[in-house]
């Protein structure tokens, strides 16, 4: 059954699209004030032919109200500089980075709903008339789905990366958005290469 699913998945991608996936990946991770809240920290990496552009942004901890987030996320981002005074400014700064790097990019995130999908939705809805066609197209590709197709554990890119000896090119831990974006990117690249070789 898995082989049939893999075959169907690959048939969706033309040769040109598979080459694009190997060329330019836009990996994003956001930390939000509760699953459906606004962003308080965002990390993104754009990887193309050995070159990389990154985005890191954060607002003051005092803006975060969710108890679980205060306990489980804030301790992991103490090294991130505060770059913005509000979620609005942070998300608009991310949107600018996205617009500068979106062309031909395959957008990925790990377990993208509701956090990263919500980030893009909020950005688009702030100026719906002008931004309606500028969100990720055709989709935000979820690394978890790719891991499922390979029969791997889907809820942790760290587990996958450790299993295959993949080095994350950023010093950090899970819940640090830059680390998570980088970890998802290298996981995707390795996992997708396995899938295309089947």
Residue-level pLDDT, tens digit, the chain, 198 residues? 444 444 444 444 444 444 444 579 999 999 999 999 999 999 999 999 889 999 999 999 999 999 999 999 999 999 999 999 999 999 999 999 999 999 999 999 999 999 999 999 999 999 999 999 999 999 999 999 999 999 999 999 999 999 999 999 999 999 999 999 999 999 999 999 998 776
Distances (CA, A) of 136 to 32, 73, 132, 157: 19, 26, 10, 22
Q: Are 115 and 42 in contact (CB under 8 A)?
A: no
């Amino acid at each position: 059954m898995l082989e049939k699913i893999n075959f169907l998945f690959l048939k969706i991608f033309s040769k040109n699209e598979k080459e694009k996936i190997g060329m330019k990946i836009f990996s994003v991770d956001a930390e939000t004030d509760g699953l459906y809240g606004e962003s308080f920290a965002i990390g993104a990496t754009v990887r193309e032919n050995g070159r990389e552009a990154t985005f890191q942004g954060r607002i003051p901890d005092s803006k975060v109200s969710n108890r679980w987030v205060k306990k489980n996320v804030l301790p992991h981002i103490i090294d991130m500089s505060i770059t913005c005074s509000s979620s609005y400014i942070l998300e608009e700064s991310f949107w600018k980075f996205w617009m500068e790097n979106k062309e031909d990019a395959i957008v990925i995130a790990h377990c993208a709903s509701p956090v990263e999908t919500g980030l893009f939705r909020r950005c688009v809805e702030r100026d719906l008339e002008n931004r309606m066609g500028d969100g990720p197209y055709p989709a935000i590709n979820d690394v978890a789905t790719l891991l499922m197709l390979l029969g791997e554990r889907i809820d942790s890119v760290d587990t996958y990366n450790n299993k295959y000896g993949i080095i994350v090119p950023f010093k950090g831990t899970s819940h640090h958005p830059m680390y998570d974006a980088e970890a998802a990117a290298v996981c995707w690249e390795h996992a997708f290469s396995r899938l295309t070789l089947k």
